[in-house]
Structure 1
Amino acid sequence: MTDKTTGCPAHDPGKAYDPSKEGAQMDFKARMSYGDYLGIDAILSAQHPLSTAHDEMLFIIQHQTSELWMKLALYELSAARQAIAGDHTAEASKMLARVARIFEQLNSAWDVLRTMTPSEYTAFRDDLGQSSGFQSWQYRLIEYAVGNRNKAMLRPHEHRPDLMERLTAELARPSLYDEALRRLARLGLPVPPEVLTRDVSEPWTVNEGVTEAWAQVYRDPSAHWEAYELAEKLVDFEDYFRRWRFNHVTTVERVIGFKRGTGGTAGISYLRRMLEVELFPELWRVRTIL
């Protein structure tokens, strides 16, 4: 039977729907399935709670999914940096917009974790040993890639030569912010020469000349539209990144108060100090002088 109005097969509410009758593939003995393509079995078998506490599964999955989102963020940041270096800023802007949305997803993950109470976390916290989120090498790589290059934070990864090689290689490359400023210079904006020739492995320090270069962009956006759009994409990303850090602080305080972190950090005071770190400081200071 067909529906006389639409010409489509009519649905009989009394019969179970069989999508194969409309051409859906149902036999995957010799074909790649959804699970095969995505490696679902490997992902779903990667949770290994060390206690009998009900909420440990939440804790594991929340952090595992965050690492997956960070993997995508690194993928997009790397491509954006390469695009800026090649003067393809429009493409980079799209990628940076995606990274901002990735951190919006990461922010939402804290809402789920906050459903765990202090009593529930205490039931398995000792089983974590010395493991801690600040040991995430992907998070460290994100910070290094965008410009927060604190070499002291290499030390938690010294037990893994492969990770040390990857992190030190990142420190040798111009950061996302370095590449953005180099692009500004190629666009004719007055980026100080010492910024363009600096040792990129060293932490960024605020430069008044860079603030003034951004000020020129913001005072006449139509004349500097490419740089203006790039600036706002960088600010968007850092805005979401700051929110992620803030939500981290409030979640930890809600769950463990002012206890020390499992990895030995000072806990809340350490996380609050991280809130003070600026990735693109001149882009925030320029707002004051306009």
Structure 2
Amino acid sequence: MCPHAHTPAPAPDSPRLPETIVHEERAQLDFSQSMSYGDYLHLDEVLNAQHPLSPAHDEMLFIVQHQTSELWMKLMLHELTAATRCVAAEQLPDAFKMLARVSRIMEQLVSAWTVLSTMTPPEYTAMRPYLASSSGFQSAQYRCIEFALGNKNPAMLKPHAHRADLLAQVEAAWRAPSLYDEALRLLARRGLPVPADHVERDWTLPYQASDEVQAAWLQVYRDPRQHWDLYQLGEKLTDIEDAFRLWRFRHVTTVERVIGFKRGTGGTGGVSYLRKMLDVVLFPEIWTLRTDL
């Protein structure tokens, strides 16, 4: 028995609640005739979607981290797609709200790597054989995000060729103008000197930086009062790429921490491949113009 233990004093009688409150509480606690929290969120399906294949304790962390990341990416795609439409329609206040949300979602994805980094190399090694060739490299949603942000690469369609529905989704993002493409088209409609081959082009090709595009953005940044909404758009794009760079950096450092320089389960070079991705710049002129301001 604990040295300072003592017999508690008897609890006073619980106060009686007014009858109206009792009935109200009963109504709030009885969901037999209405939709509950779990019903609305389909929690039975969500919370029973984790099926570890190995006996390793840490596989649950690996599954939950990737599933929650996919849910955040679903929301990110929802916002990016709508924001791109709003930029095309010159509904910039709505686009700004959506793009700000995309940056906040990226912060959540960056934080997720911090949780996964608690998995040590022996813990990952215990479950890795059960992953076979499955890899985050094959995420259709991530690929759509890359394409929506302008990092187009037709080779990235191939990992989804085994699923016609996923291939159609990824290919649609590959063929569509990116968020940055629509931003440049908007600058051109406002009379800024964006070259014609950046206003209408083959949207499936990777974006090529242009001195003329940089000059157009420079006009915006040198006179933000005259071009206030375009200036805000440029900064929203900067926020997104800033957050995306952090996500990529945390990805590569977490992978190196857990598996070193082993090849990835999806057949990539692992850390070597991810490090190459650190050099990808999505909105190049918005970054390079800062040197000339």
TM-score, normalised on structure 1? Answer: 0.93
1:257 and 1:14 mapped to 2: Cα distance? 63
1:54 and 1:17 mapped to 2: Cα distance? 47
1:15 and 1:275 mapped to 2: Cα distance? 63
2:281 and 2:60 mapped to 1: Cα distance? 34
Secondary structure of 1:121's counterpart equals helix
CA deviation vs aligned residue, 1:149-171 (integer Å, no higher than 9, x gap) = 11111111111111111222222
Q: In 2 relative to 1, CA 287–30 (structure 1 residues): closer, same or farther, beyond 3 Å?
A: same
Aligned with residue 88 of structure 1, among 91, 98, 101:
91
Query: Is 1:182 paired with 2:185?
Result: yes
| Residue correspondence of structure 1 range 132-281 to structure 2 within 5 A | 132-281=135-284
CA deviation vs aligned residue, 1:70-98 (integer Å, no higher than 9, x gap) = 00000000110111111101110110000
Secondary structure of 2:225's counterpart equals helix
How far did 1:127 drift? 0.5
2:237 and 2:172 mapped to 1: Cα distance? 23
1:277 and 1:71 mapped to 2: Cα distance? 22
1:17 and 1:106 mapped to 2: Cα distance? 48
Give the AA of the match of 1:123. Answer: A
Q: Which runs of 5+ in 2 are unaligned?
A: 1-10
Q: In 2 relative to 1, CA 79–257 (structure 1 residues): closer, same or farther, beyond 3 Å?
A: same
Aligned with residue 74 of structure 2, among 55, 67, 71:
71
Secondary structure of 2:226's counterpart equals helix
Q: In 2 relative to 1, CA 223–17 (structure 1 residues): closer, same or farther, beyond 3 Å?
A: farther
How far did 1:17 drift? 11
Q: In 2 relative to 1, CA 220–159 (structure 1 residues): closer, same or farther, beyond 3 Å?
A: same
Aligned to 1:21: 22
| Residue correspondence of structure 1 range 93-108 to structure 2 within 5 A | 93-108=96-111
Larger Rg: 2
CA deviation vs aligned residue, 1:39-75 (integer Å, no higher than 9, x gap) = 0000000000001100000000000000000000000
Aligned to 2:121: 118
Secondary structure of 2:123's counterpart equals helix
Give the AA of the match of 1:55. Answer: D
Out of 170-179 and 253-262, give the one that drifted further: 170-179
2:85 and 2:280 mapped to 1: Cα distance? 25
Q: Which runs of 5+ in 1 are unaligned?
A: 1-11
Q: In 2 relative to 1, CA 21–206 (structure 1 residues): closer, same or farther, beyond 3 Å?
A: same
Give the AA of the match of 1:224. Answer: H
How far did 1:147 drift? 0.8
Out of 195-204 and 98-107, give the one that drifted further: 195-204
How far did 1:21 drift? 3.3
Give the AA of the match of 2:41. Answer: L
Query: Is 1:131 paired with 2:134?
Result: yes
1:34 and 1:139 mapped to 2: Cα distance? 29
Q: Do the aligned partners of 2:144 and 2:174 also contact (CA within 8 Å) in 1?
A: no
Aligned to 1:30: 33
Give the AA of the match of 2:74. Answer: K
Aligned residues: 279
Q: Do the aligned partners of 2:99 and 2:236 also contact (CA within 8 Å) in 1?
A: yes
Aligned with residue 59 of structure 1, among 53, 58, 62:
62
Aligned to 1:9: none
Q: After TM superposition, where is structure 1 displaced by more than 6 Å over at least 4 residues in a row? A: none
Please, what is the CA RMSD of the aligned residues? 1.8
Give the AA of the match of 2:69. Answer: S
How far did 1:23 drift? 2.9
TM-score, normalised on structure 2? Answer: 0.92
| Residue correspondence of structure 1 range 275-290 to structure 2 within 5 A | 275-290=278-293
